[in-house]
């Protein structure tokens, strides 16, 4: 079984793709029913289709989208404990929005990945990045051609410090240019991150 992404333990996925080869003659709709009878209750197969033999859900990916959820209410919400980073201190939305603009485009994100990462190419292109508030929930929505290990969580942790005033919005561009993990903010908790969608190349 080949997965579409290697992500951190504790991160969620509203959308995840896997591929496998089989000699069984079972139809795709039968695969969906069969797998859902044996999978854990917190996983559900939504669809199945045939793809070329050289298809790989990770390497044929054109773009991925993640959302990081930060609950900014004064009192914790027990229903969100597993799905959002609960941060009760005041944060300034406009500052975070300004800081997020520095990440747009193609950059070397060496300073925004885990020190344990062994990836040689740390250049990625972020095509869209928004920070919005919905009541007490702040959503960091980011799309890119790929992500490094802990990249979105470090970006979120950095922007939380921007929103709190510890880092100036204009300093984000300088931090990015340093390519030094110690210059960026903390790694935000894994449970606030959710994979939302994936686009593939040349797959009908």
Active site residues: 8
Spell out the residues 6+ positions from residue 67 whose beta carbon is closer than 8 angstroms to its own.
139, 140, 141, 142, 193, 194, 196
The single residue listed with the structure tokens 């005041």 is: 90
Alpha carbon 192 to its chain's center? 9
H/E segment holding residue 69: strand 61-71
In the structure encoding, which two tokens stand for residue 184, read together?
């960026």
Element (H, E) at 81: none
Find the radius of gyration of the CA atoms of the chain: 19
């Amino acid at each position: 079984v080949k997965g579409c992404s290697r992500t951190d333990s504790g991160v969620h996925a509203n959308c995840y793709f896997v591929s496998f080869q089989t000699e069984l003659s079972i139809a795709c709709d039968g695969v969906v029913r069969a797998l859902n009878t044996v999978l854990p209750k917190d996983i559900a197969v939504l669809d199945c289709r045939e793809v070329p033999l050289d298809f790989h859900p990770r390497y044929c990916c054109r773009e991925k989208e993640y959302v990081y959820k930060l609950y900014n209410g004064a009192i914790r919400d027990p229903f969100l404990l597993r799905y959002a980073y609960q941060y009760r201190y005041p944060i300034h939305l406009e500052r975070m929005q300004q800081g997020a603009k520095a990440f747009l485009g193609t950059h070397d994100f060496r300073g925004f990945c885990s020190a344990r990462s062994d990836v040689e190419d740390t250049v990625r292109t972020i095509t869209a990045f928004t920070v919005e508030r919905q009541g007490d929930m702040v959503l960091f929505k980011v799309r890119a051609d790929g992500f490094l290990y802990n990249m979105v969580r470090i970006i979120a942790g950095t922007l939380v410090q921007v929103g709190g005033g510890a880092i100036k919005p204009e300093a984000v561009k300088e931090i990015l240019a340093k390519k030094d993990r110690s210059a960026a903010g903390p790694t935000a908790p894994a449970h606030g991150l959710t994979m939302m969608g994936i686009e593939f190349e040349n797959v009908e």
